[in-house]
Structure 1
Amino acid sequence: MSTLIRPPPVSPAHAPIENVLELTSLHDIDADLYTNSRPLWHPPGARGIFGGAAIAQCLSAAQKTVTHDFTVHSMHCYFVLAGNSEIPILYHVERVRSGKSFATRTVQARQRGKVIFTTTISFVRQNSGGEKLVEHAVTMPQVPTPLEGMDDFDHGSDAAGPFQSQRIEIFDYDSPHPHTKKCRQWIKARGTISPAGGHEAHLAALAYMSDSYFVGTIARVHKLWRFSPSRKNNTKSSIDEDVLKKLLAMDDDDLKRVEFLKPDDIERIRRLKSGRQERESKSADTPEIGMMVSLDHTIYFHDPRGFRADEWMFTEMETPWSGDGRGLVFQKMFSGDGRLIATCVQEVSS
């Protein structure tokens, strides 16, 4: 059973992402306890549910515990265990502090009594910064504008997902220096977010989409083959056996929807499936890496009420460092008119 309560009917007045992220209050048990109203997505080839769902639903739960004049400005998250899409998630909000200008909440997401995700979220009262402000922001790079009707990534094999994505060529891709490369895309929530959802719905949608295309940044800038399908010399594959089986069972359309696969990866899987894979020399010029796992995820919201998540937003990801089996990735998120609306940081492990 993937939800604790029978899912309510899908509301046509809400955008798909609002329905995906809908929470059910368990106030009869605890006033600050919530659960997912609908089944959560398990991306093909991933170890658990899409991380953006846990991020966004924790934010949604916390937003329900502050007054309307408080708005999130930062959240610091840790992925503890892989979430199981077949088990309901319980979100418990703790009201750590409720001050005049700032409020702090922690949220724990639990399955079978174990914490799978935890976050601390800080809210600020609107217009509490004073009359005279020191302001600056980085400018958005010049990139091709998104094309309506195009989508590089579907959320599932049977229906269009809750958001659209258009990826742009990696900046400086042929550079020998990984830290100079930038992975870029346009994203937006599909449909129109309802007025009833308010700014909270747009913030939850941004939080959900902030985890898109993020974890694989280091693998992309290093031009790494994300997993090894061979059993040469009886060495163990660096990808989970069950994940590889799922990939081999997919058709071309489904493979194209797997976020961490590039065209070269898909071609290798095709060769595996057809039995025509040639021996590949795993030399220094063709490095490989195991499945990437997000360790943590931080979002700083710079203009939390000044954007719409159902309009095109531009994101740019870069990595200043990797080593010791981990790597750090920065992401800048801009509104369509070029304003910096959020900055994200993630550490990943292979």
Structure 2
Amino acid sequence: MTEASSSTRLATPPRGEGSAPALPLTPEHVKRIEINRLLAKAKQREREQESSSSSILNANSKRPLGVVPATSNSPTAPQQRPLQRDSRLGKYFEYDLSKMANSKGGFLIEDDNEVNEDLTRKERERERQRAQQNLDPPIFLDPKLNPKCRDCGSIDIDQTFKKIFGCLVCNKCKNDKPEKYSLLTKTECKEDYLLTDAELRDQELLPHLLKANPHKSTYANMMLFLRYQVEEFAWNKWGSPEALDTEWERREGEKKKKKNKKFEQGLKELRRRTREGVWQKRKDAEHKHVFGVVEKGSDGVGKQQYDDRLYRISATATILHGTAVSLKPDNSAANVFSKYHLSRLISLSLLRWSTTSMSEGQAEHERISTSLDVEQIDVNLFRSKSLWLPVRSRGVFGGQVISQAVISATKCVNPAFGLHSLHCYFLTSASPAVPILYYVERLREGRSYSTRSVKAAQNGKIVFIMLCSFQKPELWQPERHWPIPEVPPPEECELEEDFYLREANRADNEKLKNILLDYRDERIKSPVSIRTVAREGRPVGNSVTMYMYWMQAKSVPKYDAPYQKAILGYLSDLYFIAVSANTLGLKRLSRGPDALGMLSTLDHSIYYYSDDFDCGDSLLYVISSPRAGSGRGVVHGQMYTRTGKLVAVMSQEGVVRADRQAPKEETKARL
């Protein structure tokens, strides 16, 4: 019995003497054996449970209890009823999670409303392309069946390189030999090895590995090539590495030739424009005589007025150094000879006038001239001579930039045309340390109107743009204007420097006192004198408050109309946008929500309606602010002479901000 029972028991036969030694188990093999054992036990447990649900009695001689399925028609079948809402939970929203999509941004979006289907489809396509090349092949238990590294013979090869490039190399050799197994991008293959797009897209010629684009996931996948395969293909294409270097040098030479050719063409065009600029400069330097219409006097003799920017001389009798020349309305040769001598005498009289009259008040004149004058570099190019930075200001005074741009544009216009309007924008603040360059562009030359644009640049950036228009005066046309308000004369109004001195003496704070004294010194040194008519403004009507100032250029000779208009442009930016802050009740040199935080000009417009005014005499500046809000304010102004003539109308918009912080935005959840 003992022998029989032992013979029926299964046992592992002993290993033969000639059998091969057992293979050592790797950790991967042990893991797979354990997984297979657990799967076998799970299947055995399922078979036991299926057999227990039959009619066979169990160990306790009982029939196992069967469960009635939900699809049965039996009354004992379970009923599928929806869950009842618990009223104690209060009000809440119900969402069907099966209809929601993950936006991958931290939100669940219902009905997929905000999901871009096109982008999602592209991302899935890119992922599918990359997943196809990342499948790892199985590892055989027999070492002879596994592929080995081409360099060291290791079976731990990189499966990606094997599948994509057909290259058997292990990770160690791949890292130790980057000169053979490093990856090249498509751009590197094209630039260094001179390969084409068609060759790189051909999977049979040059296999490539797809990687996600680092710039954006929806962009095309990045193509990576194995270095030694690219080099072998390039050597076969070009013949040898030396031939490839020769071709690369040839192409680089062609690029340099094209670049040099483009540079020569630009230089040639610059020379052509320079020649045209020199010709235009000589043309503009020629003196042009402008004569008015012939007017007959009471004696029947025709008189013709000669008009220029700096002087007016009657052409009837010009006397210089005891010599007199007369013109008569006939076509005789003597008349032609007289016109020739007249032009010569006019030029000499201009020289003599400039040397005598300019010597008076030279110091004050030099101060105003250096503030507004510009240096002509080319025909249409000018440069500032001086720039003024006001006290507690971020940039150069805007009125000075306007006046210098007006003078630059006026020098590029026929003297018969006078400035009648300008519109300008201040793009950014300018520094007083670097000169401003003004470039004048001649946009239009008409019979009655001429248009110019001026761009002011500093440090290579445009800081100011102005568009201005010039017109031949039409004095025979009708005119009208608003009357001047009733105000006291300038002699009865207080100077601004006296006001600042009085306020500084009453100030308790030493810092505030020093600031007020700085304002006083600035007004004393300024070439413009300002007197305030009403310090708090004058109400006109129910809701309009007018601010009025008498302004006068200090000790300057009576300039011609073009220069007077440039000075008026300088005056027009003084105290202009500040009226909007005064209307809002914002206070300077204070703190709190009613304090003035920022004041800066955005755009400025001037409309000239007269050439007969003198900035050396007092001009009344009437300013009002019809609207302010959203950190901006707009002001309108009128400039009157002492006699009550309205000579110019101004408008300006600027940044007017109170010293207040913006409210913080509250972020609300989407769900």
Q: Is the pair's TM-score, using the shorter chain for normalization, greater than 0.5?
A: yes
The 8 Å contact of residues 391 and 522 in structure 2, kept in 1 or not, is answered as no
Q: Secondary structure, in 3 states, of the residue corresponding to 1:315?
A: strand
Select 1:162's aligned residue among 514, 527, 535.
527
Matched ranges for 1:198-209 at <5 A? 198-209=560-571
Give the percent of matched residue pairs that are identical in Structure 1 and Structure 2: 31
Select 1:137's aligned residue among 481, 497, 501.
481
Q: Which amino acid aligns with 2:401?
A: A
Segment drifting more, 48-57 vs 218-227: 218-227
Unaligned runs of at least 5 residues, structure 2: 1-360, 498-518, 657-671
CA distance in 2, matches of 1:155, 1:75: 32
In structure 2, relative to structure 1, the CA distance for the partners of 1:170 and 1:14 (3 Å cut) is: closer
Larger radius of gyration: 2
CA distance in 1, matches of 2:463, 2:520: 22
Deviations 1:258-289 (A, max 9, x none): xxxxxxxxxxxxxxxxxxxxxxxx5xxx6233
Select 1:306's aligned residue among 594, 597, 612.
612
Identify the residue that residue 14 of structure 2 maps to in structure 1.
Answer: none
In structure 2, relative to structure 1, the CA distance for the partners of 1:108 and 1:342 (3 Å cut) is: same
Given the alignment of the two structures, is residue 349 of structure 1 paired with residue 641 of structure 2, yes or no?
no
Select 1:337's aligned residue among 643, 649, 671.
643
Select 2:578's aligned residue among 201, 211, 216.
216
Identify the residue that residue 83 of structure 1 maps to in structure 2.
Answer: 430
Deviations 1:297-347 (A, max 9, x none): 0000011x1101110000110011111211110011001111000010001
Select 1:296's aligned residue among 603, 610, 631.
603
Give the helix-richer structure, 1 or 2: 2
CA distance in 2, matches of 1:98, 1:122: 10
Segment drifting more, 82-91 vs 217-226: 217-226
The 8 Å contact of residues 228 and 290 in structure 1, kept in 2 or not, is answered as no
Select 1:185's aligned residue among 549, 557, 561.
549
Identify the residue that residue 259 of structure 1 maps to in structure 2.
Answer: none
Q: Which amino acid aligns with 2:482?
A: V
Identify the residue that residue 23 of structure 1 maps to in structure 2.
Answer: 374
Q: Secondary structure, in 3 states, of the residue corresponding to 1:65?
A: coil
In structure 2, relative to structure 1, the CA distance for the partners of 1:80 and 1:227 (3 Å cut) is: farther
CA distance in 2, matches of 1:183, 1:340: 16
Question: What do you get for the CA RMSD once the two structures are aligned?
Answer: 2.5
Identify the residue that residue 111 of structure 1 maps to in structure 2.
Answer: 458
Q: Which of structure 1's runs of 4+ aligned residues deviate more than 4 A?
A: 10-13, 153-159, 170-177
CA distance in 2, matches of 1:205, 1:155: 22
Q: Which amino acid aligns with 2:385?
A: S
CA distance in 1, matches of 2:571, 2:441: 25
- When normalised by structure 1's length, the TM-score is 0.73
Identify the residue that residue 403 of structure 2 maps to in structure 1.
Answer: 56
CA distance in 2, matches of 1:347, 1:171: 21
The 8 Å contact of residues 155 and 161 in structure 1, kept in 2 or not, is answered as no
Given the alignment of the two structures, is residue 287 of structure 1 paired with residue 594 of structure 2, yes or no?
yes
Q: Secondary structure, in 3 states, of the residue corresponding to 2:564?
A: helix
Q: Secondary structure, in 3 states, of the residue corresponding to 1:147?
A: helix
Unaligned runs of at least 5 residues, structure 1: 1-9, 230-281
Select 1:151's aligned residue among 495, 504, 512.
495
Given the alignment of the two structures, is residue 44 of structure 1 paired with residue 391 of structure 2, yes or no?
yes
Give the strand-richer structure, 1 or 2: 1
CA distance in 1, matches of 2:537, 2:385: 43
Q: Secondary structure, in 3 states, of the residue corresponding to 2:612?
A: coil
CA distance in 2, matches of 1:74, 1:158: 29
In structure 2, relative to structure 1, the CA distance for the partners of 1:148 and 1:162 (3 Å cut) is: farther
In structure 2, relative to structure 1, the CA distance for the partners of 1:176 and 1:202 (3 Å cut) is: closer
Q: Which amino acid aligns with 2:461?
A: K
Deviations 1:213-264 (A, max 9, x none): 11211111222124654xxxxxxxxxxxxxxxxxxxxxxxxxxxxxxxxxxx
Shift of 1:191: 0.6
The 8 Å contact of residues 452 and 469 in structure 2, kept in 1 or not, is answered as yes
CA distance in 2, matches of 1:48, 1:337: 36
The 8 Å contact of residues 94 and 106 in structure 1, kept in 2 or not, is answered as yes
The 8 Å contact of residues 396 and 431 in structure 2, kept in 1 or not, is answered as yes
CA distance in 1, matches of 2:653, 2:605: 9
CA distance in 2, matches of 1:18, 1:116: 23
In structure 2, relative to structure 1, the CA distance for the partners of 1:11 and 1:95 (3 Å cut) is: farther
In structure 2, relative to structure 1, the CA distance for the partners of 1:161 and 1:337 (3 Å cut) is: same
In structure 2, relative to structure 1, the CA distance for the partners of 1:168 and 1:149 (3 Å cut) is: closer
Aligned pair count? 275
Identify the residue that residue 100 of structure 1 maps to in structure 2.
Answer: 447
Given the alignment of the two structures, is residue 72 of structure 1 paired with residue 419 of structure 2, yes or no?
yes
The 8 Å contact of residues 540 and 546 in structure 2, kept in 1 or not, is answered as no
CA distance in 1, matches of 2:568, 2:523: 24
In structure 2, relative to structure 1, the CA distance for the partners of 1:188 and 1:294 (3 Å cut) is: same
Q: Which amino acid aligns with 2:483?
A: T
In structure 2, relative to structure 1, the CA distance for the partners of 1:223 and 1:117 (3 Å cut) is: same
- When normalised by structure 2's length, the TM-score is 0.39
Shift of 1:45: 1.0
Identify the residue that residue 33 of structure 1 maps to in structure 2.
Answer: 381
Deviations 1:167-198 (A, max 9, x none): 11157658997x5111110001111235xx42
